[in-house]
Every structure is written in C-alpha cells, then in structure tokens.
Structure 1
Amino acid sequence: MRIVVLVKQVPSTDTRLAFAPDLTVIRDAGPAGLNTADWYAVDQSLQIAGQQPDAEITAVTMGPAGAVDALRTALVLGARSAVHIRDDALHGSDALATSRVLAAAVDRLGFDLVLCGSATADSGMSAVPAMIAERLRVPALCFADRLEVRDRTVEIHRDDGCGDRRVLAATPPLVVSVTERCGEPPYPRFVTRHDARDKPIQVWTLATLGIDPAEVGLAGSACAVRSATPRRGRRPDCDVLAMGDPASVAVRVADFLAERQFL
C-alpha cells in the first residue's frame, strides 16, 4: 500500500503572527512546528503500515525553506521518504491553489491512501483534503475519529455534528483526514531520530509538477486577504475553581455563581 501523508509547518500557537506588506504570513517570524493534526495523520499511517507489510509512507509538504522541518519531524516519527514542494511562485497560494499543487504531487507519487490532518492551526479551513480528493477524482472520508483498514477497505468513525456516530467506508484510492481524537501519537525513540537523518528528502518545483506559475500564488488564487487587524486587549483574569476533590469544587462553583446572582 502506498501511503502519502500531507504535513505542514505552522507558526507556534503562542506566537503573534507577523504579516508582510501583501498581507501574507511571514513564516520565519517566530517559532514554528509540525501542525498538531498532522502528527495524528502520520501516526495513523504508521499504524496502518504495521498491518500492511508492503506499505510505503511518503510525507509531502508545500512551503518555503523552513517547511522542511515538518518533513524532518515526519521522518523522525517514521515516514520512509519525503517530498518538499518549494517554489517562489507558490507564495500567497490560497486553499484552491494549494490543493492543485498537492494533488499534482500525490498523483506523481502514486498512491492508495492519502492521509491529512483535519485542519491546520494557522487557517483552520478543513477544506483542502476534500479539494484534493476532488482533483484526484477519488472518495474523501473526512474528520475521522477512528480509522481502520479491513480487507482493502478503509473504514472511519466520525461525529456527524449532532452527537451521533457514523461509520463510512470506501476502497482505495482515497483521501482521509483525521482528527485529534484518533489517539495520542507516541514520542519517537532515539534510534528513530538517528535513522531519520539518512532518509531522503526530494525537492520538487512547479516545473517538476507541470503547473503553470500563473495558476498559483497570489495572482492565481481565488481568495485574497484585504486587511488584518490584531485582536484587541487581553483576556480577563480568571479564578481557578476546579481544583481539589469533586465535592469541594462543586461547593465553590455554587458559591461563585450565587455571589454573581447566576443562581
């Protein structure tokens, strides 16, 4: 089974975003790391590979030079190889343009299963996995809370948004996005970190993928940011009530609400 895991380097959640004059995010303005949801996608690929002896896992990212760190993390976690799509013309690409590039890369690699995180911390659109599936003309199983492969059938369990659980299934090739409810990924062992240094990282450009630069970047995107306003003020101070045994916590919460005439 050929598994492609899509990963992304995103700014740290405690970093104030900085914007360039064209209102694109300055990616090297502060600490960054592998998108949290993508950790779970990589972990799910490893779990599948543990059941499929012939499985090959390739991590793919699109972005500037610093994005290679996301690939190195994926290799440390257990991916076998990696592809970095890097081209100055990609600067400012929106979700549609990004999905075009990633779908072309996946198609070039060949795949049975594409795994993605359900959303990225820097945009949270959750749309790119489905867009990629549409471009590849394969099924999309999105927001998987649990993922299983049975007899060449991929089955996911997901929340339907109304509190009920749904089970969806499709046969490869297909695209799956996973949520953080799939399970906590294990911390990589030292030997895995050491072995990751020898794993290959290919660098592809738009020319490699046969994509016209006019179809991506700021000029080729359907969406554009017109303004960016920082959030005003700080969060108000809060009282921590939920500490201690349940009975005493319940009393403190009740007293707190009564004092403020909520009860």
Structure 2
Amino acid sequence: MTDHDRPFALVTGASSGIGLELARVIAANGFDLVVVAEEPRIHDVAAELGAGTQAFVTDLATRQGNEDLVAWLDALRRPIGVAALNAGIGVGGPFVETSLDADLRLVGLNVASTVHLAKAVSRSMVANRGGRILFTSSIASQMPGPYNATYAASKAFVQSLSEALRVELAEHGVSVTALLPGPTDTEFFRRAGLEGTRVDEGTKDDPAMVAQAGFEALMAGKHEVVTGTRNKLQRQAVKVAPDPLKARLHGHLNERKD
C-alpha cells in the first residue's frame, strides 16, 4: 500500500544507468516515486523498488509522450517533492553523417522534454510552496562536443536552464540542482554509437556513485555537483581554456581511435 504521507518523487530515464540508480537511492530514502522510461522494463524497476513505486511507459522524445505523463501525474493528485529530470540520449559521429531524425529525436528528449516537464513540475512546486528539481546535465555541457555535437549542445542548454531556474524559483522555496557527471559506466556509449572512441575506452565512474552524489547535493540544496575527481579537475581547466581548444580536445576524445 502507498502511504500518501510519504514524500513523492519523479525520476525520468529510470530504466538503466544513472536514472536507475537515482530511483534506487531516492526510494531507499523514504520516497514513493514514479519511474518513467520508454522501455517496458521500467515495470521491472518498479517491482524491484517495491511498494510505493509506480512505472509509467511513454516516449518523452515526443510532445504527446510528455503530455500523457503530465496528465497522468495530475490525476494522481500528489504533490511532487523531488523531480529528477534525467532522461537523455546521445548521437555520436560526424554531424554531416549522423541521421537528421536521430539528432532531432535527441533535441526532443534532451531539450524539449526537459523544458516540458520542468514547466509542469516547477508550477506544481511553486503552488505547493516547495520542492527540489535535479537536472542531469553533463561535464560535456562545459565545452563544444565535436563528433557528439548535438548531445553537448543539448547539455549546455540543460545546464543554462538549471542555473536560470535556480534563481527564479528560489523565492518560492524550490531548489534546483544540476548533476554534472563525466563518462559513466552505463549503456550510453553503445546507444549513442560512441563505442570504440577514446572516451568510451577510458576510465568510467560508477553510476551508483554518481546518483548518490546527485541525491546528496539535491537534498542539501546545492546549485550543482560535479562527480569524480577527474571531472572536477576538468571542470576547472575548461573555465580558462578558449572554446576552440576545448572543442579540439573534446573532439579528440569523441573521435574513433581507428
């Protein structure tokens, strides 16, 4: 049975990777939650997390998919205390060769869906005078991303949106946190077509560690958290490097070794 006195959370992109680990840590900290993904296996995640967790299957890369989720959440009539807007994909390869449909789908999921759901949950939280939003950004948001161009650009959008909403929503008791992971041991590289690249074959962080750091920063009301010592050093370095140099270095990592 679900206890409606328990805090309520939303996690998108929760079928695997960082999203799955965010769902696990949020549930372990006493939240009921809704886990969302396009894949039917999201029902297995809900079953794993047990009573108090519900699954919703929808394609957030489409406007209809977002509208369906928002309508379903509204029908629950439960205030969302935490929203982890994590769903995202990558598209690797030279921009002139990647599929236009794939790049536009990325924009639909990483950008349009993030705006759509952020609009819905922030309005709800403002009306209820409190809440916490976690945006999964990326260390890639800090530099242009040749051979992964639309992904890096989308995460720069998410990072900017997070920083802006943090200021706007603070007076309403709503905190906004950006999670900036670096390369993480998930299905991202395979799905994005980045297998065999230098970044894929390099050291990756544990998604459970990334999720735990994100959750702790969220609950502490921090504006952002960069996970992993290597990524923190990279964040400091890119602050002073010119964009053309950052782009070349990032492109070197995203380019296939062969």
User: In which range does the TM-score fall when normalised by the shorter chain?
Assistant: 0.3 to 0.5
Instruction: Give the TM-score, by structure 2 length.
Output: 0.38
Higher relative contact order by CA 8 Å / sep ≥ 6: 1 or 2? 1
Q: Report the structure, 1 or 2, having the larger helix content.
A: 2
Q: Report the structure, 1 or 2, having the larger strand content.
A: 1
Instruction: Return the index of the structure with the highest Cα Rg.
Output: 1
